Structure 1
């Protein structure tokens, strides 16, 4: 059976193809592609079909024309955010031969004379802008395929909104075409400009700048000082202390794409730091107090996390409809915590972890009993923390109230 030829083509048309690629197109009975690509091979004898962005139509046509030589034209490198990846996954790699052309991403980096072996490359057609902006924070170079919904101006503004202002920007329009244009500027300038829909955006980090804005210097991934968080004044001091928070987050074993519940989130200190660890995941901060609920949103904005979702309501009703979590943190006082822990544990994904933070011996005994029954095993930590204070010429230690962490893992 003849293999389907997937051939990359640029704005220079047939002249830019290798002799082998031109020969395959000459032999093809049917050529599938977008209108612009087909216009470049208009002189060839094959039947031509404009499929636009309808990838399913390509699949149907390939299946209907078995035994005939079919060519699929794609822009640039068909395996770099192109149609070849979809077709090989859908129909199997053995059905195809791929002949790449220079991709517009390669052309863009060549135009600005920057190597791209160390760049973060992605497409805003497949990745949300919020996630791309956060990944750009620590990148040396970034190459982006933009979209109509997320043009260069929107990307630049998203970065500026996060205090990320340390990139030189290049917007490369209509690469390979007669009206090709490369614009170099600052993020503030690009945020006010419009560009052709056919563009590649490149960000190059300026030398010697930090990974985060000045307002975030001193902020940590987890274990931030208690006073870094806004707290409601009557309840001040009820925040999970930084040291306990750090231990709890370690025991939760949160991954980059984890789903996390923080039940009884208060002003959101655990939620925010969990969201920073699970940068590609999501964290649900469940809180019944409207004032604390508002503080969660304010603290999220303060720390620049975008993957934290505050949920106003009383557990367990408030977590109905939420995705099952990989990790749950439960904090609180009162006898009701035993029931919350029992119901929350049942919501965990297999292999998920629950960490409960209690302050009394009675609650420790109750929660441990519940989790021991549900999980078959528990880990219990008593955390005693004393913070040093200089008083005159002496160092004294001020003890925090002891607290308990009960950890359990749901069986697989």
Structure 2
């Protein structure tokens, strides 16, 4: 038997616990838990009671002190569902523990509102930032959220309404399993105006026939948005990376939800914004030396509602020094300097990282390719480089007939580090 049992209980303490859980509590030499959980065990148990705060380092220290004694760590609900079990396994390994769960408050909440939860998006706002959660909620059909004292149901509702997401019916389930249990239901506007205790679960159910995006965001895509969707400095109007090339570059960068991205020579931030929408749990560093464009980056971020872009006013590659190593990099430009920036950025890529380079001059594409092949060999990896010439013509009406207007050719180079 494991020396430490992680036991889930409810607000009714041991009365509703299984016989196995009661046996583990009765046999324990040490009982660990917060004050509320320990109080629910009653007076008939013999083990030494060790109260725990919310500090994980203190918890780890108390677990260390258990030694060879039999111990029970008592928590509410399911320790494996946004509970302490994962932290303890990572810190001490799994062999030392057993887990006996109770019904989680998330299960209770869905039962109270009589909705299934097998396909719901479930998360905890104590471990996930609200901005990334809101983006996931936008396209979900059902949502279950553990809120907290810092980010409560009203904050979630306001954040959704600020993004134009108004098509969910909401439930706030308070003090589940306790005598003062309460469920508040209504639209997001009603929930946003309310006040709620810290101990609650918020459930959102999408209204029938609701759109998959806010009404004021129709036409805004994760990537490949029309060029005129972005604010640009007037002298540089039309100089941003064209939407078609932008889409190809972002595809080659293969951005994951938690990727860390550099956009080198970000301009007004079109690539940064779309990269941030793809890396909704990550971050995008938009490096730009022109103060006017640097200011437009934040304006375009606000326009698209992304909060994970970090504008960096500075010149590359000097600006790289203070940045964390990236998973993905985009570099764009017209001169020989682009090759040097691409090589410097490639050197900073994490293993398996991806680099996309957009050039508009045929004179420099072969040079950049050769330089990145050499950089790959220097890094001890087999060169993995692709090159494309992108010729795009956009359809347009001209004298009541369809015609095509060609864009300037673009050259795209993509490299993988390993």
Q: TM-score range by the shorter chain?
A: over 0.9
> Does structure 1 retain, via aligned residues, the 8 Å contact 2:390–2:410?
yes
Give the aligned partner of residue 216 of structure 1. Answer: 217
Alignment of 1:37 onto 2:37? yes
1:337–1:93 CA distance, 2 compared to 1 (3 A): closer
Range that drifts further, 15-24 or 30-39:
15-24
Question: Which residue of 1 is the match for residue 206 of structure 2?
Answer: 205
Give the C-alpha shift of residue 334 in structure 1.
Answer: 3.2
Q: 1:393 to 1:137 in 2, by over 3 A?
A: closer
Measure, in 2, the Cα distance between the counterparts of 1:59 and 1:375: 43
After the TM superposition, which of the residue ranges 341-350 and 63-72 deviates more from structure 2?
Answer: 63-72
In structure 1, the residue matched to 2:179 is 178
- 2-side partners of 1:279 and 1:132: how far apart? 9
Give the number of equivalent residue pairs: 411
Question: CA 1:332–1:2 in 2, change beyond 3 Å: closer, same or farther?
Answer: closer
Q: Which ranges in structure 2 are unaligned for 5 or more consecutive residues?
A: 378-382
- Give 1:172 shift: 0.9
**Hey, what's the Cα distance between the residues in 2 that align with 1:60 and 1:307?**
35
Residue aligning to 1:396? 403
1:62 Cα deviation from its structure 2 partner:
4.3
In the TM superposition, residue 342 of structure 1 has moved relative to its aligned partner by 2.7
Instruction: Specify the alignment match of 1:4 in structure 2.
Output: 4
- The alpha carbon displacement at 1:355 in A equals 1.9
5+ residue gaps, structure 1, are none
Aligned to 2:351: 350
Normalised to the residue count of structure 2, the TM-score between the two structures is 0.92
- Match of 1:262, SS state, is strand
Deviation at 1:144, TM superposition (A): 1.1
* Residues 1:54 and 1:353: Cα distance change in structure 2 (over 3 Å): closer
Decide whether aligned partners of structure 1 residues 260 and 61 sit closer, same or farther in structure 2, where only a CA change above 3 A counts.
closer
Per the normalisation by structure 1, the TM-score is 0.93
Q: Is 1:189 aligned with 2:190?
A: yes
CA distance in 1, matches of 2:135, 2:398: 42
- State the distance in 2 between where 1:67 and 1:176 align: 35
Q: Is the 8 A contact 2:165 2:214 kept in 1?
A: yes
Deviation larger for 14-23 or 236-245? 14-23
Instruction: Tell me the secondary structure at the aligned position of residue 23 of structure 2.
Output: helix
In structure 1, the residue corresponding to 2:114 is in which secondary structure? coil
Alpha-carbon distance in structure 2 between the residues aligned to 1:88 and 1:150: 27
Counterpart for residue 380 of structure 2:
none
- Please state whether the residue corresponding to 1:94 is helix, strand or coil: coil
Give 1:285 deviation, angstroms.
Answer: 1.2
Partner residue of 1:154?
155
The secondary structure found in structure 2 opposite 1:320 is helix
CA RMSD of aligned residues (A): 2.0
1:153-181 deviation digits (Å, cap 9, x = unpaired): 11111212222211111111111111111
Deviation of 1:214 (Å): 1.0
* Partner residue, 1:254: 255
2:53, 2:59 within 8 Å by CA — same for their partners in 1? no
* CA–CA distance in structure 1, aligned partners of residues 11 and 350 of structure 2: 50
Compared CA separation, residues 326 and 19, structure 1 to 2 (3 A): closer
Q: SS of 1:78's equivalent? A: coil
Match of 1:119 in 2: 120
